[in-house]
Structure 1
């Protein structure tokens, strides 16, 4: 319950390392986060200190990170901060700042991205849950079509004038 949740914006510093583990997929990469400030003497933006975090992603997030994230890309990471320190033999104190990621996305303030929904594995009909007929029909209706109509569609098309309301499940 008493976790430190952070949201950091930075650049991917290392290639994501993807592993298939017994607990499911896992991926990690290093994130460089550099503060910037306005230097009044130089009348210019100046880079401050750079912090490095190891970002950990699990399950479907790990699969998507491995397919989407590359070195140098600007990303936004939200997750639980975990700071560890230990004494290693013959060395000074060692510290590590890790983020157990809940969400990772490209920073659209610094570029564009093309989103593709990840394919879900097919569930056999026998494993599908029975619909609950006591819930409103909107809750069990299939997801609406998110397709954008072609640019040459006639202006009088009723589907464009009154689109179906989106149902988010």
Structure 2
């Protein structure tokens, strides 16, 4: 299977729209990429023409994007390039989409704090308790999970 993978560096141009679907979450947002070139005559950087892409993501990446990305933030987007044509108002239009594999903040332009998302296991989300001698205690599995989370934080 031949796919065109791209890596784009730019800014979130719109808020992330998130929806639950039958197969999991789906998110999309518009992404602006503006090339910068050194103008030798003027001895300064000049912006080129901005290109806009629609970035699509699914499942966990979609949920994490919705909770992590705001308009204007600098990002690096890596994914599959998709070009589609549609007819709107009697005219053919071309749209360029990226089905994201990975998205992250561009750390050359700022800092970020990463928080790992732990997959929910029923035994961990129910917080099972056991009663011994009238005292309520966490189960050994829950205590193990809490200790592991404290070590990661």
Mapping of residues 91-110 of structure 1, within 5 Å: 92-110=91-109
Mapping of residues 141-160 of structure 1, within 5 Å: 147=151
Question: Which has the larger strand fraction?
Answer: 2
Mapping of residues 81-160 of structure 1, within 5 Å: 81-90=81-90, 92-124=91-123, 147=151
Mapping of residues 49-64 of structure 1, within 5 Å: 49-64=49-64
Distance in 2 (CA, whole Å) between partners of 1:62 and 1:36 is: 29
Q: Secondary structure at the match of 1:49?
A: coil
Q: Secondary structure at the match of 1:60?
A: helix
Distance in 1 (CA, whole Å) between partners of 2:150 and 2:45 is: 41
- The aligned residue for residue 20 of structure 2 is 20
**Distance apart, 1:89 and its partner CA:** 3.6
After superposing on structure 2, the runs of 4+ consecutive aligned residues of structure 1 that deviate more than 4 Å are 144-148
Question: Which has the larger helix fraction?
Answer: 2
- The aligned residue for residue 159 of structure 1 is none
**Distance apart, 1:146 and its partner CA:** 9.2
**Distance apart, 1:85 and its partner CA:** 1.1
Q: TM-score, normalised by structure 1?
A: 0.72
Q: TM-score, normalised by structure 2?
A: 0.79
Does 1:44 pair with 2:44?
Answer: yes
Number of residue equivalences = 130
**Distance apart, 1:76 and its partner CA:** 0.4
Distance in 1 (CA, whole Å) between partners of 2:63 and 2:28 is: 11
Distance in 2 (CA, whole Å) between partners of 1:96 and 1:146 is: 45
- 5+ long unaligned stretches in structure 2: 125-147
List per-residue Cα deviations over 1:9-52 (Å, max 9, x = no partner): 10000000000011110000000000010011110000001110
- The aligned residue for residue 9 of structure 1 is 9
